[in-house]
Amino acid sequence: GVNAALMPQMTGSKNIEIGGLALGMTPKEVDEKFDEVVEFADIGSFVDLPMKTYSSGMAARLRFAISSAAIPDILMVDEALATGDAAFKSRSKARIEEVRQQAGTVFLVSHSISTIEAMCTRVLWMHQGRLVMDGPVEEVTAAYKTFIRAHRHQG
């Protein structure tokens, strides 16, 4: 993903450029998407500061904004919705849906059942590195909820 290409010592601007190029965007496409990325990440003038000065939430918002700027064949999102305020979460969910509509595949890693139920059409339930269940959202989340209830009563 784009995370490997980003460099904390460089400015947000430079990371947008590097990240966009790493995702296969042309320099022209990066330039065209620049303002959209900054606005989506809601980092304002911080874009001119090194990423190492950003809060973890700001850095996560910028990574997500860069990753989703180009419509990828597959968008992988690892707990991106766990950080940020309600407005960012709302923008992120809308962006994920846009990518899903245009590209077709979003691989979302989340511990939030409500997020999974709202955004997914298929669920892979992993536990301790092993696939427990693969299927429709309703079936897998119901089984997971049963599992969680059973294990809460044991502990």
Of the candidate CATH numbers 1.10.10.10, 3.90.1150.10, 3.40.50.300, 3.40.640.10, the domain formed by 2-120 belongs to 3.40.50.300
pLDDT band for position 2 (cuts 50, 70, 90): confident
pTM metric for this prediction:
0.72
Q: Which pLDDT score is estimated for 87?
A: 82
Q: Which pLDDT score is estimated for 36?
A: 95
DSSP the chain: -GGGG--TTSBHHHHHHHHHHHTT--HHHHHHHHHHHHHHHT-GGGGGSBGGGS-HHHHHHHHHHHHTTS--SEEEEESGGGSS-HHHHHHHHHHHHHHHHHH-EEEEE-S-HHHHHHH-SSEEEEETTEEEEEE-HHHHHHHHHHHHHHHHHH-
- At residue 105, does pLDDT exceed 90? no
Q: Which pLDDT score is estimated for 127?
A: 93
- At residue 62, does pLDDT exceed 70? yes
State the Cα–Cα distance between residues 53 and 119, nearest whole angstrom: 32
Query: How much is the average pLDDT of 3-7?
Result: 81
- At residue 83, does pLDDT exceed 70? no
Cβ burial of 142 (10 Å; 0-12, 13-18, 19+) is exposed
- At residue 43, does pLDDT exceed 80? yes
